[in-house]
Structure 1
């Protein structure tokens, strides 16, 4: 059975974007980006809400762009080769390869996807991840904590949700980012 993994780059105060909706403070350097790339190699399918999909589709043309750094092209190739499911009631169409739209998030369908998948599945975006957490679907969390306090904004983890975690790994990077890898334990 595949694992459902939630990964996010956050500020020290737990935000994925600040009050203005910006996340330009969260840009990983090559060391962090390379580490993320290696984690993402095990992902066969990405689950996104509309906003996260619209942010991530930036990577679609980058995999063949020789002007990009090796690390960026590597991530773009990983992303391009994976399946993508976008949960949106408003998005009419998608313009990236291997992508389909689902109108509603169905926990039972995701459970079936996990049972059938040969590779792990990633859930992206805090709102969709909150639904997956509340449905008991998330198996692991990867947080990349950036050395900045942004003073509020969109939280990486859902409010009102409580679950025990087991620390599996941690790593410090030269730019001050700390990676925390947790297994979600049954409550």
Structure 2
């Protein structure tokens, strides 16, 4: 057996965003284990960069984190949406931006020991400002920082949100690789 198989699922809680269950699982090793699993539809986050390589970061109050966090515009995938649709919608709602150019930065698992959430990461360029539409339960400030400063904040612990850390590092790596390729082509 190469994959786990759910033998029994006992729901504990079903909410608007997540559901929690005790799952009896046959592991690929053949061993049977009981796991507490939180199911989530997944999400998308966007590294939005303007012409000056400034990144749009949200300073958002998060009750579960007991305070304010620096985050990328992001949100939950709604039924019928693709991850790119979600990224587009959330960029508009939270940051008041639309984008012409989208680059896939891959995906990440937020906490795979207990959580099924997969977050799809994007880089957006060719930005146009539009009115934002924050939801009633969102307390968000929109900020623009040089990408280099945001990366410094990742390194010194000012930014602690996992999707934001990974998104910023991946975007930086992609930009750096593209610049290296351009300089190599110019040197030929």
Give the number of the structure whose alpha-carbon radius of gyration is greater. Answer: 2
TM-score, structure 2 as length reference: 0.25
Q: Greater share of helix residues, 1 or 2?
A: 1
TM-score, structure 1 as length reference: 0.25
Q: Greater share of strand residues, 1 or 2?
A: 2
